[in-house]
Structure 1
Amino acid sequence: MSALFEELDYAPTPIGAISLRRRRILALETDVFEILLGDEHLMSSLFTASEVALADKGLAALKGKGWDVLVGGLGLGYTARAALAHEAVADLTVVDLLEPVIRWHREGLVPMQTELADDPRCRLVQGDFFALAASDTGFDAERPGRQYDAILIDIDHTPERLLHGGSAGFYTAGGLRALQRFLKPGGVVGLWSDEAPDEAITGLLGAAFAEAWAEPVVFANPLQDGREITQAVYLGRKA
């Protein structure tokens, strides 16, 4: 049996100290990995349904194959891994602000170990997603202005509950419209939220994209006798 608690890494970052820890939940007979920014929980390996749904629902809205996909936010890697499970994905770029998070994947400290770092279709890039989205050149320094079939964003808790102030200007009709510069015609942008669908957020995407809709993600919480949790994936399509 594993130890009941272990802090796997702790590191300062420009937005606060970040830590990766593993806890043994005896009632479930399982190990849970968690990422914390200060005292705030960013992600848990116990709750991944909506992170997976962000990739699955976003890519289900595309046609064809040979897709170039961009994921904003790495975390424990569940959105990225779900995207790579689609054979139509030819290239995946994952941008994360925090160097320690990328290092955890390269060193195999996370549950999926080095799976993402070892996949030849996947590139892990340290950078500020929101600053790159507002830039003239975009997300690929070697191919300025590069466009993607899908841009999937799993960073803030919701567009109204931000991790830090650097993303505030992004969640506006103007900020979202600017992101379309890096999206192919007919391409899709997806936003993850840890709350149930909100018509105001769907309306915000509708003001920026030709088409917008919300997908509820419902799953059982094993820590609360299976009580259902509802989170959301918001999707917008470029004309």
Structure 2
Amino acid sequence: MTTRPRFEELAWRSTPIGELSLRRRVEPSLGVDVYEVKLGDEFLMSSLFTAAEEELARLALAELDEPAIDVVVGGLGLGYTARTALADARVRSLTVVDLLEDVIDWQRRGLLPGATELTDDPRTELVVGNFFARAASAAGFDATAPGRRFHAILLDIDHSPRHVLDSTNARFYTEPGLRELARHLLPGGVFALWSDDPPDDKFLAVTQAVFTTVRAVEVSFPNFYTGSTSANTIYLAR
């Protein structure tokens, strides 16, 4: 019988923004497989901590009363936000935009648990592209229907509005950047943002200048490494 190694680098590639890798390892304290994404020396995501990524979709869609919902997700990662969105039967279409083709390819190749839930669902479109450039453009997120608007736009790319992966992303978190995004939402639509930082009063003020209703929700979850509780923030704006 073949024993799976305790550590595997499932995929690696040099990209314009750094070395990107997908790793699987066994977490000895829990005896479970952990999937991790690294960009350079930074850990972008771990399958050990997905509560806030899932809540990003749940909280955003709970804001909506529509029977049929069109959703954009910025940043595919390990796929938890996208799959949680698809679990809502009201979701009619899901457009996921990721800058890195490799990240989308991991799902298509089945390198991650639950990948087929995403790739085999006819509601899903996986798009290689720059979310921030599309948000700033009049054409928006659907190349086949320029200017198309959506009920929900969910974003999980940067660590937070203050800690961005690329300096060019910073403009998005300003009032002009958010106004450009808002034009891609249908009336009553919701913008939701994941952040690794606590609620940021300055960013809340910027968001309130663009949207009518804004709130920050802290999502707590057990941290197996520290033995305590950690938290992420979800911003919800309409």
**Over residues 158-188 of structure 1, what are the superposed CA-to-partner deviations in whole Å (9 max), with x where a residue is unaligned?**
0000011221111101110111111000000
Kindly state the Cα deviation for residue 27 of structure 1 after the two structures are TM-superposed. Answer: 1.0
Kindly state the Cα deviation for residue 223 of structure 1 after the two structures are TM-superposed. Answer: 2.2
Instruction: State the partner residue of 2:108.
Output: 106
Are positions 1:163 and 2:156 aligned together?
A: no
Whole-Å Cα distance in 1 between the matches of residues 83 and 198 of structure 2? 24
Structure 1: gaps spanning 5 or more residues: none
Instruction: State the partner residue of 1:72.
Output: 74
Kindly state the Cα deviation for residue 72 of structure 1 after the two structures are TM-superposed. Answer: 0.2
Instruction: State the partner residue of 1:224.
Output: 226
Whole-Å Cα distance in 1 between the matches of residues 197 and 162 of structure 2? 11
Residue range with higher mean Cα deviation, 202-211 or 77-86 = 202-211
* TM-score normalised according to structure 2 size: 0.97
Instruction: State the partner residue of 1:214.
Output: 216
Whole-Å Cα distance in 2 between the matches of residues 196 and 31 of structure 1? 29
**1:124 aligned counterpart, secondary structure:** strand
Are positions 1:61 and 2:49 aligned together?
A: no
Runs (4+) of structure 1 moved beyond 3 Å? none
Kindly state the Cα deviation for residue 132 of structure 1 after the two structures are TM-superposed. Answer: 0.6
Q: Does the aligned pair in 2 maintain the 1:107–1:114 contact within 8 Å?
A: no
**1:185 aligned counterpart, secondary structure:** strand
Matching residue's letter, 1:81: R
Instruction: State the partner residue of 2:204.
Output: 202
Structure 2: gaps spanning 5 or more residues: none
Matching residue's letter, 1:14: P
Instruction: State the partner residue of 2:93.
Output: 91
Whole-Å Cα distance in 1 between the matches of residues 115 and 70 of structure 2? 24
**Over residues 13-60 of structure 1, what are the superposed CA-to-partner deviations in whole Å (9 max), with x where a residue is unaligned?**
221110000111111010100000011000000000010010000111
**1:195 aligned counterpart, secondary structure:** coil
Instruction: State the partner residue of 1:153.
Output: 155
**2:115 aligned counterpart, secondary structure:** coil
Identity, % of aligned positions? 54
Instruction: State the partner residue of 1:181.
Output: 183
Q: Does the aligned pair in 2 maintain the 1:33–1:111 contact within 8 Å?
A: no
Whole-Å Cα distance in 2 between the matches of residues 53 and 182 of structure 1? 22
Q: Does the aligned pair in 1 maintain the 2:173–2:203 contact within 8 Å?
A: no
Kindly state the Cα deviation for residue 195 of structure 1 after the two structures are TM-superposed. Answer: 1.8
Matching residue's letter, 2:168: G
Matching residue's letter, 2:183: R
Kindly state the Cα deviation for residue 64 of structure 1 after the two structures are TM-superposed. Answer: 1.9
Kindly state the Cα deviation for residue 111 of structure 1 after the two structures are TM-superposed. Answer: 2.1
Whole-Å Cα distance in 2 between the matches of residues 18 and 120 of structure 1? 28
Kindly state the Cα deviation for residue 200 of structure 1 after the two structures are TM-superposed. Answer: 1.9
Alignment of 1:125-144 (within 5 A): 125-144=127-146
Matching residue's letter, 1:45: S
**1:7 aligned counterpart, secondary structure:** strand
